[in-house]
Amino acid sequence: MNFDFTEEQSMLRDSVARFIQDDYDFDTRRTIAESDAGFSAEKWQTFAELGWLSIPFAEEHGGFGGSAVDVMLVMEELGKGLVLEPYLATVLLFGGLLQKGASPELQAEYIPRIIEGNSLGGFAYLERQSRFELADVKTSATADGDGYRISGEKVVVFNGASADHVIVSARTGGDQNDESGISLFLVPADAQGLQKLDYRMMDGQLVANLVFDSVRVSAGQLVGELDRGFELIEAVVLEANLALSAEALGIMQQLNAKTVEYTRTREQFGVPIGSFQALQHRMVDTFMAYEQTKSLLYRAVCAITDEREDVATAVHALRVMVDKAGRHIFGEAIQLHGGMGITDELDIGHYAKRLMMINTTFGNGDHHQAKFNALRYTQ
């Protein structure tokens, strides 16, 4: 098969890579991580000017009309730079839900604002008891005249601290774990009755817990069909899993490259430790883990591009490999760097923390292995 990228895709990848190299070094990233917002509004505006925020959106809304391959290339490069700006939360989750399910009026109002860098969003789906199950929803939305009132709590909302709007999953019917009966609503961050608690995760990103105390929304703020929001969530999260896997691949590449470079300069017994055959074998193993992840990522991207029936199976297999390979690669990178591999001053530990966070977003390896097994059993 031909895995060569088009000229436009190569230019896109190179533009992100140049930005990371020239404007987003590790010291810059640390400064951004320590800021109150947890990301740089200036860098975000640069993303907009370079057209990266338009990648997955339809041309009718001013978007690039890009494919899963385009998103993969962007996310892989962002992973190499440990970029903190909310690309996943705003463009892929919030924007993805709008593009796939919102009314034409909502799309026309919000998608151009996302593309221009003037709107930040988030997706509030996770609850304390739900762990990795997207259908486990206790937050309720009860009818109130021509609208609804939302009550409940959502936790670990990516970009929840800075978002001006969030899309919230709430139960409008069925029991707590039913896939049917879940609806999605677009809620302003300053809505009356909405409270938030901001905090930082181990990888430096700022997230929030949101409490909805009878927050009123109109019927026009419904995203997708009433009681059928789960189908929309599944479709968007499937693509988000690919994006996260691409980000993880970029991190794995950097960890391997930095570890190899370090073993060429660190000396023991008067020679570089990279000359020791035992360490060479270990670095070959991490390189193979990276290549296997890359192959599964390409397979999953091809499956979603071709709209094949085994898309979900391919994505679950990919996430299992990301979990397994990621832990292996960052473990070896930290060990071969020695004690300084876990210091805050060196980027190795920060790459490891981000990989660990990716492996708990939308399910860890065990979760995706169980989903993969269930799909294979029913096929």
Percent of the chain with pLDDT over 90: 91
Q: How far apart are alpha carbons 96 and 91 in whole angstroms?
A: 7
Q: Which of 212, 227, 242 is the last residue of a domain?
A: 227
Same-domain pairing of 106 and 170: no
At residue 378 the predicted structure's pLDDT band, cuts being 50, 70 and 90, is low
Q: Which of 119, 140, 169 is the last residue of a domain?
A: 119
Rounded mean pLDDT of the chain?
A: 95
Same-domain pairing of 144 and 74: no
Q: Which of 68, 97, 119 is the last residue of a domain?
A: 119
Instruction: Flag whether 347 is in a domain.
Output: yes
Same-domain pairing of 155 and 251: no
Give the mean pLDDT of 58-85: 96
Same-domain pairing of 308 and 357: yes
Q: In this structure, what CATH number is given to the domain that contains residue 52? A: 1.10.540.10
Same-domain pairing of 22 and 105: yes
Q: Which residues of 204-236 are buried (b: 16+ CB within 10 A; e: fewer)?
A: bbbbbbbbbeebebeeebbbbebbbbbebbebb
Chain CA centroid to CA 164, Å: 19
Instruction: Flag whether 2 is in a domain.
Output: no
Please tell me the predicted confidence (pLDDT) of residue 339: 81
Domain that holds residue 127: 122-227
Same-domain pairing of 244 and 356: yes
Same-domain pairing of 131 and 245: no
Number of domains in the chain: 3
Same-domain pairing of 259 and 357: yes
pTM of structure: 0.96
Instruction: Flag whether 1 is in a domain.
Output: no
Joined together, the tokens standing for residue 295 give 């192959």
Instruction: Flag whether 199 is in a domain.
Output: yes
Instruction: Flag whether 194 is in a domain.
Output: yes
Please tell me the predicted confidence (pLDDT) of residue 275: 77
Same-domain pairing of 276 and 175: no
Q: What is the pLDDT of residues 25-70, one digit of tens each?
A: 999 999 999 999 999 999 999 999 999 999 999 999 999 999 999 9
* Residue type for position 132: F
Q: In this structure, what CATH number is given to the domain that contains residue 241? A: 1.20.140.10
At residue 136 the predicted structure's pLDDT band, cuts being 50, 70 and 90, is very high
Please tell me the predicted confidence (pLDDT) of residue 268: 82
Check: CB of residue 151 under 8 Å from CB of residue 167: no
Q: What is the pLDDT of residues 175-208, one digit of tens each?
A: 999 999 999 999 999 999 999 999 999 999 999 9
Please tell me the predicted confidence (pLDDT) of residue 351: 97
Same-domain pairing of 319 and 244: yes
